[in-house]
Amino acid sequence: MKTAIIKRKEIEKVLTPALANKTVEKVFKAHGLGQTDMPPKSYLFFEKGDLRSMPAYVHGQGFDIAGIKSVNVHTENASKHGLPTVMAVIILTDPQTGFPLAVMDGTYLTSMRTGAAGATATKLLSRKNAKTAGFIGCGVQARTQLMCTMEVRKITSIKVWKFKEDDTLADAFCRWAKRRFGVQTRISEDIDEVSTGVEVLITTTPSRTPLVSNVSPGTHINAIGADAEGKQELNVKILKQAKIVIDNWAQASHSGEINVPIHRRQIAKKNIYAELGEIAVKKKKGRTSAGEITVFDSTGLAIQDVSCAYAVYETLKKQGTLREVKLL
């Protein structure tokens, strides 16, 4: 047997926002029905960053696939080494034999599956007529969040936080969003101006101190940035007044938006309303009123990686374009 080697460029052509959204929503349903096995991600810490291992097995909703992702986060990469902050490799495994079906780039896939998780939460938790979105953080992840969100909501205007005067990311993000989607854009150095008066708020920063303190009634928040112990983007007062939905308790309590307030005993497990998979399979309701504030705490799950990797693999296999080598 041979193993497929799949490059980023191939994944970019195949893993569209529509396919990513469809795949991730389906795998959250599998998770909600107990059709997944997924140990919490493990961490190796270095002086300049960390390395995470993320295994998963999905056996439901049309999936029978396993795999593992190796992913790093090194915040100085861009400025000092000309490398992405986040890089990843995924090994896709046949659960029947353990054979490595594919080795593939996971960097672009990670961004897309995270965008799709945010879009799935937006679909299930935001107001259906949402048209405005605010962005705290406007790097690569902000772009995939908007790309995937546009598949589920008709966003017509965005507000973007410029965190310092010489920040060029905000301007670049707005130019890109206007060119790609034709949305109206507004940049502000006042974070409250960005976080209020929007129906969807997306936070994608690596902050270790709360940034967002004020939101308007009826806002849905996708809290994406907190993905390691000690990270936090939202003031705990927002969590205390919101319906909190997480992707997975083991990960969120350790490294998600709720990790700091949980460990400080500012909130408890009883304050968590649901996991997103429970809402996806209708075990629990999503938004129940126009005025409630909802928060999705996204830590990034290995089931998202494995399911999206499998979708890419199957698509390329059907196209007859897989490049394979004999590894074993």
CA dist., res. 249 & res. 54, Å (int) = 15
Q: Which one-letter DSSP state was computed for residue 297?
A: E
> Cα separation of 232 and 211, whole Å?
8
113-114-120-122 Cα dihedral, nearest 10 degrees: -150
Q: Please tell me the distance from the alpha carbon of residue 317 to that of residue 243, in angstroms, as a whole number.
A: 42
> How many residues are present in the chain?
328
Structure tokens at 190: 């006042």
The two three-digit tokens of residue 139, written as one number: 């790097």
Give, for 21, the enclosing helix (H) or strand (E).
helix 17-32
Q: How many C-alpha atoms does 263 have within 13 Å on its Cβ side?
A: 12
3-state secondary structure of 232: coil
Name the DSSP letter for residue 39.
Answer: P
> Which of 26, 29, 69, 243 is the catalytic position?
69
Structure tokens at 165: 């005067």
- Which one, of 190, 189, 160, 191, lies nearest residue 177 by Cα? 160
Q: How many helices (H) and strands (E) does the chain have?
A: 12, 16
**26 in catalytic set:** no
- Dihedral of alpha carbons 161, 163, 168, 169, sign: negative
Active site residues: 69
